[in-house]
Structure 1
């Protein structure tokens, strides 16, 4: 057994010591583009890559898995790595998994070279501060596809729930209460640990943003950081956000504020949702809403829990998993000035409407139905933590319990 094969088997062997949770995200294989697994820090990117490497190895395919933070590989040239790989697998294409790829000197050049020699199927993952969605296109120049990995969905966190009897429904409700509190970061969910949550957020703050972006005023940025996170689910403009910060005693210019917020977005910590409009100018100047990559982050500044906003954030991330594209999700304001939480544009052009709430009322139904009429969509869904039965619902509006909505996938 060669060096690379031995290293691969050692890494894959480590899976036996990790509690496995079945992920719904899938890594495509046997494609010529580089597959980049991207997402927030500690959402399970390495685990997903190792699972795929093991699966391919068990099917008898040529597989090499290397973590580029090992000193031996960090300074190795791409040509040398390719020679080693081909000495162990002389025939056929090799599935080459490269983790912590940001540690590899000249990683973008090396990946382009490996891609162009056409001897490898290439899969990469690494720090969210390096494999940012804004950098991959320029660094890899169109030679890639990305797989965005988010924290656990509720369905992933809950696992198999049985045949759906009253015991399973009771278990599911209890798990949903836990999920609304602890969220879906794997180690936080499995340990139900606030300490681990703090560790993740602080690591993102210092390593993925402060160090990466070269932030000089760390104290100033820290105040902005937590204040912006605390505004999740709210509609804000740059001007209104700046004024809110001034009310907290922090004065900074709009350009600096925009830079701080976008650095948080590039680290996959938050998403910005724009207003739905057929006018690009209106979308640009209208308030935007902020959502967290995982609602558990709100635990660090929110006491007591704002359950309504958490439910809204959970519905957002669930829709994001479905669509795979944050640009397809907007919010909407009806002609009467009533805000509807989410408008999803399907690839075929269809429009779906979603309204989230703690308890469904006639007002929520009427608002969703009005948006449906204005946008000429076929269906609207009101997602409620408590979905009491309402009589006389419009034909194109349904009320769905949050639990059922999240388990549908």
Structure 2
């Protein structure tokens, strides 16, 4: 949001006094309506009702009846409204007031190309060999803008603590914070692998229901994404899900691993998740992804090769297209 604000002010030359950013989870704004905040803003800056303003409302789901309030603001006109939330589950519980009035989209971490731009890195054709070095740096660092710019590892820790405490525990009334954080660490360890909710429950000494609830919460806040097994419905339901972290830098920070193959697979998933991916598992052999339109994908970083069983499954599997992805250029 703040990058968008900078763009409006610096590039579009919007009057800064006509731009309002509010984090709705801030203690100062608890109990205050959005309309009240906006009216106070207009009064302070002597903004007339017919003048256009830009509203950036972070963590909007902390506001009761936020949909109705946003609808009222929208219907009044002269407002461009940007609202965000880190909780998908709360956004999904909308009552319909914003139907036809809003566009919802998921903001992803920086791509490799954007990462280079953020770091002000320009690679000439003659220095093309350096791109691979920077790509490995990107896999380790990830694409969280603030972390990319500062390289301050404390930021990642603070970010994840805020999500766990504020967006998950506080919203869902969970008091076992240590238990929730241990669950998160296990998710990071399993990133890129299948995860059994029952086994995690046993490791942490919690019920299967609690394990399933925690898992859904981390998915709803976009920390991890689940990938189901390709096949019939009963196979999908009984088979464990593979999980992928929302950012390779977060995964690296918490696992300490520099497994290039696993990081690359996570990267490929994030780039292709819009294709509605599943994983293939037949006769104890696994292939990474198959899309909804039957495109088969196996990730093998650089010189990694398929083993004999994988090659056989890859060759014989019925798909519209087949790809072995080895570098960032293949995605």
Task: State the TM-score, normalized to the length of structure 1.
Answer: 0.67
Per the alignment, residue 180 of structure 2 pairs with: 221
Instruction: Give the secondary-structure state (helix, strand or coil) at the position aligned to 1:151.
Output: coil
Q: Partner residue of 1:368?
A: 314
Distance apart, 1:189 and its partner CA: 1.9
Q: CA deviation at 1:274?
A: 0.8
CA offset digits 1:320-356 (Å, max 9, x no partner): 3xx2x7xx1211224x5431111222xxxx3322211
Report the secondary structure of 2:300's partner residue.
strand
Task: Point out the more displaced range, 305-314 or 285-294.
Answer: 305-314
Q: Does 1:283 align with 2:247?
A: no
The partner residue of 1:78 within 35, 48, 59 is 35
2:134 to 170, 175, 179: 175
Is 1:297 aligned to residue 243 of structure 2? no
Quick one: distance in 2 between partners of 1:53 and 1:103? 26
Indicate conservation of the 8 Å contact 1:365/1:382, yes or no. no
Give the 3-state SS of the residue equivalent to 2:323 in structure 1.
Answer: strand
Is the Cα contact below 8 Å between 2:61 and 2:90 reproduced in 1? no
Q: Distance in 2 between matches of 1:56 and 1:81?
A: 24
Which residue does 1:332 correspond to in 2? 280
On the 8 A contact 1:368/1:381 being kept in 2, the answer is no
* Equivalences for residues 1-400 of structure 1 within 5 A: 46-51=1-6, 53-54=8-9, 57-58=12-13, 64-69=19-24, 71=28, 75-76=32-33, 78=35, 81=38, 84=42, 88=48, 90=50, 96-102=55-61, 104=63, 106-117=65-76, 120-126=79-85, 128=86, 132-141=87-96, 143=99, 144-159=102-117, 165-167=125-127, 169-243=128-202, 245=203, 250-277=204-231, 279-320=232-273, 323=274, 328-334=276-282, 336-345=283-292, 350-358=293-301, 359-361=303-305, 363=307, 366-371=312-317, 374-375=318-319, 377=320, 379-384=321-326
* CA displacement at 1:89 relative to structure 2: 5.0
- Measured after TM superposition, the shift of residue 357 of structure 1 is 1.9
Deviations 1:158-203 (A, max 9, x none): 2376575231x23212211211211111222222232222222222
Where does structure 1 lack aligned partners over 5 or more consecutive residues?
1-45, 385-401
3-state SS of paired residue (1:209): helix
Report how far residue 369 of structure 1 moved: 3.4
Q: Structure 1's 56 and 94: CA in aligned 2 closer, same or farther, altered over 3 A?
A: farther
Verify the 8 A CA contact 2:61 2:91 in the aligned structure 1.
no
Query: 1 CA distance for matches of 2:47 and 2:8?
Result: 19
- Which string of whole-angstrom CA distances, capped at 9 and with x for unpartnered residues, describes residues 57-83 of structure 1? 5489x9643425585897245278479
Distance in 1 (alpha carbons) for counterparts of 2:62 and 2:201: 37
Give the RMSD, CA atoms, in angstroms.
Answer: 3.3
In 2, Cα distance between equivalents of 1:369 and 1:55? 53
- State the Cα deviation string for residues 114-158 of structure 1 (Å, max 9, x = none): 2344554432124x1xxx222224335252321211221111102
Do 1:108 and 1:140's aligned partners in 2 also have CA atoms closer than 8 Å?
Answer: yes
What is the DSSP-based 3-state SS (H/G/I as helix, E as strand, rest coil) of the residue aligned with 1:233?
coil
Answer yes or no: is the 8 Å Cα contact 2:228–2:278 preserved in 1. Answer: yes
